[in-house]
């Protein structure tokens, strides 16, 4: 029996008579299950039609209504993908659920005996719980909403309706073709947000209090949503974790698609790709992108400035490039409350397991700095602050700040200069994992944010003794931000306050490592 078996109509709304939680969506009735007492979960609920067959490489289409009750007690299909390559596969779980209905969401919600626990409203809203919508990372080729670390039980336990989203990945979601819309994966995310606006009230959520949050490629996606006219009004707050605004021109973005086409021996068109077997396409895509990473370059899938979903580069629109946004436009997303930050040692996820930290020689460091156009004056500041650091550690620190910390600081500065109505908060996650010497690496904060350190998948990165009190503090900050727009520390101002989550207890730090940040200016 699958998660989408239809059952006869039974019970009343909320499931009090049937013994299972139920909800009536715009498209039909669904039945879920109880995660724990007081928390219901609805898994694999479709927000758009399956993007295959005649709908392959097409914009998402609304779900067809159904009769009866759809079971939503198991995770839905994941987007076509391949697992992470070793050694990252042991650190980053990436479950696969077969099927075509990959455009689905999971919902965790506070639930009482009679149905959704709506709560008292709060902050002047018209009622309902705050809503958080999670957009997963994975370099736009990995990940799903079925990853155990992303379990939303703790958020629902603490009064939030948590929604996690699947979207098309790789060439299916971010291929660039002359005969298909661009940014299909981003369009999927927008379709999911429209679904949330139309349906979240039946789970007890307030459609006027939606917070989008995501990490890595999910954070890059959220920055794009902040800059997209098609997403305006769909969320009130945003959390950007370890991802900065970016998008490529059509010419640059299409290079990966063309490389996959060459590998397949077909034309670089959606029509030609639609005729290719899914597994064969995944094989070619994996071979082309095997050596690409956010820090080392190579072929990868990226968002594209398309004149529609993304009329201009989000880095420019949000002020992350360090310049002045387009005349008369201000800063996009200025009315949205924004929480953003990084880990202290993002690079270690890629540089340590691969051995690059140890292998990189002084000569290769100089070559890498030249290729990536790191100013010599900037490198000198980092060297002076890291006496005895290996070349790989120095390169990693520079790459972390160039790609992530500096652009996010510039975003915060642009919002401050513009007098943006939305508040801005910055954080840094610094607790070092003892596992493999990963330190405070990319993605390490996820088990803390979701309060899922108890799961084996989180422990693969943190080890068994990660500080639960730090997870409680970080998770509570995210809940408070979604509920009230204030995570519990001072908003961004001229003193550049950053909340440091570890090592040790959380502490507000003014302008951390500011000499290094300033070294990128001018």
Rounded to whole angstroms, how far apart are CA atoms 227 and 174? 18
Report whether pLDDT(465) > 50: yes
Structure tokens at 292: 């690409």
Q: Does residue 462 sit within a domain?
A: no
Rounded to whole angstroms, how far apart are CA atoms 18 and 401? 54
Query: 1 pLDDT band (50/70/90 cuts)?
Result: very low
Q: Does residue 362 sit within a domain?
A: no
Share of the chain above pLDDT 70, in %: 93
Please give the average per-residue pLDDT across 476-488, as a whole number: 98
Tell me which of 346, 393, 445, 516 is the catalytic residue: 346
Write the CA distances from 73 to 35, 41, 62, 103, integer angstroms. 10, 7, 22, 16
Cβ atoms of residues 156 and 39 within 8 Å: yes
Check residue 322 and give its pLDDT: 74
Write the CA distances from 130 to 210, 240, 481, integer angstroms. 6, 18, 10
Q: Does residue 272 sit within a domain?
A: yes
- Domain encompassing residue 184: 1-311
Share of the chain above pLDDT 90, in %: 89
Q: Is 505 helix (H, G, I), strand (E, B) or coil?
A: coil
Query: 18 pLDDT band (50/70/90 cuts)?
Result: low
Rounded to whole angstroms, how far apart are CA atoms 319 and 335? 14
Please give the average per-residue pLDDT across 62-88, as a whole number: 96
Check residue 486 and give its pLDDT: 98
Check residue 374 and give its pLDDT: 95
Number of domains in the chain: 1
Please give the average per-residue pLDDT across 60-87, as a whole number: 96
Asked which of 118-122, 328-332, 360-364 is least confident by mean pLDDT, the reply is 118-122
Q: Judge whether 136 counts as a catalytic residue.
A: no
Please give the average per-residue pLDDT across 471-494, as a whole number: 98
Report whether pLDDT(11) > 50: no
Q: Judge whether 454 counts as a catalytic residue.
A: no
Report whether pLDDT(6) > 80: no
Tell me which of 136, 142, 442, 475 is the catalytic residue: 442
Question: How many H-runs (helices) and E-runs (strands) does the chain carry?
Answer: 18, 16
Q: Does residue 414 sit within a domain?
A: no
Q: Taking phi first (over 0 means left), then psi (-120 to 50 degrees means alpha), and beta for anything else, what does residue 453 get?
A: alpha
Query: 116 pLDDT band (50/70/90 cuts)?
Result: very high
Check residue 13 and give its pLDDT: 46
Check residue 329 and give its pLDDT: 55
Cβ atoms of residues 225 and 167 within 8 Å: no
Give the chain's mean pLDDT: 93
Q: Judge whether 287 counts as a catalytic residue.
A: no
Rounded to whole angstroms, how far apart are CA atoms 512 and 344? 11
Report whether pLDDT(124) > 50: no
Tell me which of 27, 139, 144, 216 is the catalytic residue: 216
Q: Does residue 42 sit within a domain?
A: yes
Encode pLDDT of 94-106 as tens digits: 999 999 999 999 9
Please give the average per-residue pLDDT across 203-212, as a whole number: 97
Report whether pLDDT(121) > 60: no
Q: Does residue 285 sit within a domain?
A: yes
Let me know if 19 is exposed, middle or buried by CB neighbors in 10 A (0-12, 13-18, 19+): exposed
Q: Does residue 104 sit within a domain?
A: yes
Please give the average per-residue pLDDT across 162-179, as a whole number: 98
Cβ atoms of residues 80 and 149 within 8 Å: no
Rounded to whole angstroms, how far apart are CA atoms 393 and 215? 23
Residues pairing with 110 in the sheet: 39
SS3 of 37-54: the string is CCEEEEEEEECCCCCCHH
Check residue 3 and give its pLDDT: 41
Q: Is 263 helix (H, G, I), strand (E, B) or coil?
A: helix
Rounded to whole angstroms, how far apart are CA atoms 494 and 138? 34
Query: 218 pLDDT band (50/70/90 cuts)?
Result: very high
Pairing type for strands 507-510 and 497-501 reads antiparallel
DSSP H helical segments within 243-351, as ranges? Answer: 250-264, 270-274, 278-289, 314-317, 348-351
Q: Does residue 124 sit within a domain?
A: yes
**For position 257, which CATH number holds?**
3.40.50.1820
């Amino acid at each position: 029996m699958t998660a989408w078996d239809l059952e006869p109509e039974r019970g009343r709304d909320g499931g009090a008579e049937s013994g299972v939680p139920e909800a009536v969506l715009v498209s039909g009735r669904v039945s879920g299950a109880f995660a724990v007492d007081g928390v219901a979960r609805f898994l694999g609920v479709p927000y758009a039609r399956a993007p295959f067959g005649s709908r392959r490489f097409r914009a998402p289409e609304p779900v067809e209504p159904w009769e009866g009750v759809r079971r939503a007690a198991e995770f839905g299909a994941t987007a076509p993908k391949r697992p992470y390559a070793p050694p990252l596969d042991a650190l980053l779980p990436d479950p696969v659920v077969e099927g075509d209905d990959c455009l689905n969401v999971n919902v965790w919600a506070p639930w009482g005996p009679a149905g959704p626990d709506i709560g008292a409203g709060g902050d002047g809203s018209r009622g309902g719980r705050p809503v958080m919508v999670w957009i997963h990372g994975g370099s736009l080729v990995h990940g799903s909403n079925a990853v155990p670390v992303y379990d939303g039980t703790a958020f629902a336990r603490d009064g939030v309706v948590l929604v996690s989203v699947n979207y098309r990945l790789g060439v299916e979601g971010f291929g660039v073709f002359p005969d298909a819309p661009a940014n299909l994966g981003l369009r999927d995310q927008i379709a999911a947000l429209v679904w949330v606006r139309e349906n979240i009230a039946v789970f007890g959520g307030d459609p006027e209090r939606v917070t989008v949050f995501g990490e890595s490629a999910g954070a890059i996606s959220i920055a794009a949503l902040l800059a997209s006219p098609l997403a305006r009004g769909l969320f009130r707050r945003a959390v950007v974790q370890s991802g900065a605004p970016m998008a490529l021109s059509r010419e640059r973005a299409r290079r990966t698609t063309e490389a996959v086409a060459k590998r397949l021996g077909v034309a670089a068109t959606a029509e030609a790709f639609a005729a290719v077997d899914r597994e064969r396409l995944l094989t070619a895509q994996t071979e082309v992108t095997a050596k690409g990473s956010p820090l080392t370059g190579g072929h990868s899938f990226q968002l594209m400035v398309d004149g529609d979903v993304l009329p201009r580069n989000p880095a420019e629109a949000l002020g992350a490039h360090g310049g002045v946004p387009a005349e008369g436009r201000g800063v996009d997303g200025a009315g949205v409350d924004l929480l953003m930050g990084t880990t202290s040692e993002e690079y270690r996820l890629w540089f340590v397991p691969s051995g690059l930290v140890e292998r990189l020689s002084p000569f290769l460091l100089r070559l890498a700095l030249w290729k990536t156009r790191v100013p010599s004056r900037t490198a000198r500041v980092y060297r002076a602050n890291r006496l005895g650091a290996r070349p790989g550690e120095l390169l990693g620190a520079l790459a972390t700040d160039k790609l992530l910390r500096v652009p996010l600081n510039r975003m915060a500065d642009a919002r401050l200069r513009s007098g943006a109505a939305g508040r801005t908060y910055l954080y840094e996650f610094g607790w070092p994992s003892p596992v493999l010497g990963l330190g405070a690496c990319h993605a390490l904060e996820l088990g803390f944010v979701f309060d899922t350190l108890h799961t084996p998948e989180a422990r693969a990165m943190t080890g068994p003794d990660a500080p639960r009190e730090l997870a409680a503090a970080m998770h509570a900050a995210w809940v408070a931000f979604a509920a009230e727009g204030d995570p519990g520390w001072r908003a961004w101002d001229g003193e550049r306050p950053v909340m440091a989550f570890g090592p040790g207890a959380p502490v507000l730090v003014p302008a951390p490592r500011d000499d290094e940040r300033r070294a990128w200016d001018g």
